[in-house]
Structure 1
Amino acid sequence: MFDTMTMTKVVGGFCGALLVFLLGSWAGGILYGTYGSHGDDHAQAYSIDTGESDAVVEEVVEVPFAEVYAAADAGAGERLWRQCQACHKLEPGANGVGPYLHGVVDRPKHAADGYSYSDGLMATTGEWTPENLSAFLENPKEYAPGTKMAYRGMGKAEDRANLIAYLATFQ
């Protein structure tokens, strides 16, 4: 029933069909493809008004950090402390990769004895008030450019307030 000539015809038919589909795909890609860069110079042919421009935009009200800090939970901050304890210690005078954080809230900046601060952090002045700590924890590289702290930052103000409240228990 199946001899080599029949098998050759079947395989040839599949290869021919595959070739037709590949050539069709190639031709369709050339006709309908979006090649090249259509960046900012791309003009829209027409627009359909959906009425979204008339939609009311909600304003995000920024709550002052002092209010967030007043409602902070030190217990929740203890859980957040786990990400800090790889580099910092809470025992007075026990520096790790970072300075010890015992009594850091309202302590003068760069006042941890025996720790070599980076030039970026030495350029800052004042005390580690809860607001300053929050700004530093939000984005250390922006607060003190050139700091040795490799932490990316803590985005949520509630988390920063909870962590600072936990650190404030060690005075």
Structure 2
Amino acid sequence: MFDTMTLTKVVGGVCGTFLVFLLGGWAAEAIYVGGEGHAEGEGEHAAYVIEVPETGGGEAAPEEEAVPFDVAFETADASAGEAVFRNCKSCHALDGANGVGPHLNGVVGRPVDAVSDYAYSGALEKVVDVWSEEHLYNFLAGPQDYAPGTKMSFKGLAKPEDRANLIAYLATTSG
């Protein structure tokens, strides 16, 4: 069935296919990376450069000023905060049951690690002892920035009024 000539053809076909892939990889590398001398650490070379004219006429967008807690909390609306809480429902509950995060009923004024059946990361305890309205306001602006290493992966609430409204709503929940 398999004679020497058939076996030679099969081996030649496999070696030929390997050679085509090897040469194709070499050719693609030469075309897209830029030829010889492109090993790591030998400098960066672009295959082509697109020149972009300098535009000096535009002004940078003004940075948004941080709204202090006192100013934002003066006009806080708990009913608007209930709508903001929709962002929190996927991880937190208000019925005393833990989800991905600890339950939030009674969180305002509660010690940071007060939920006994939730495994905290320990990062929050280094920053704050009790969840005051101001600590919550700052934490909700950017949890990872406020307490690096926290388990809360939510990026935060950018709008100060949303944070203040949410805290006003959370303050109405019982512990």
Does TM, normalized by the shorter one, top 0.5? Answer: yes
Partner of 1:135: 138
| Structure 2 partner of 1:78 | 82
User: In 2, distance between residues paired with 1:62 and 1:147?
Assistant: 23
The CA RMSD measured in Å over matched residues stands at 2.9
Shift of 1:169: 0.4
**For this pair of structures, how many residues does the alignment match?**
126
Structure 1 stretches of 4+ moved >6 Å: 58-61
Q: Distance in 1 between matches of 2:93 and 2:170?
A: 11
What is aligned with 2:94?
90
1:39-78 to 2 correspondence within 5 Å? 63-78=67-82
Give unmatched runs, 5+ long, in structure 1.
1-34
Q: Which residue of 1 aligns with 2:150?
A: 147
| Structure 2 letter corresponding to 1:135 | N
| Identity value in percent | 48
Matched position secondary structure for 2:135: helix
Aligned 8 A contact 1:109 1:124 in 2: no
Give the drift of 1:65.
Answer: 1.1
TM-score, reference length from structure 1: 0.63
TM-score by length of 2: 0.61
Separation of aligned partners in 2, 1:106 and 1:70 = 18
Q: Which secondary structure state, in structure 1, belongs to the residue aligned with residue 137 of structure 2?
A: helix
- For residues 129 and 51 of structure 2, the distance between their equivalents in structure 1, rounded to whole angstroms, comes to 51
Which amino acid in the other structure matches residue 148 of structure 1? K
Cα deviation for residue 63 of structure 1 reads 4.1
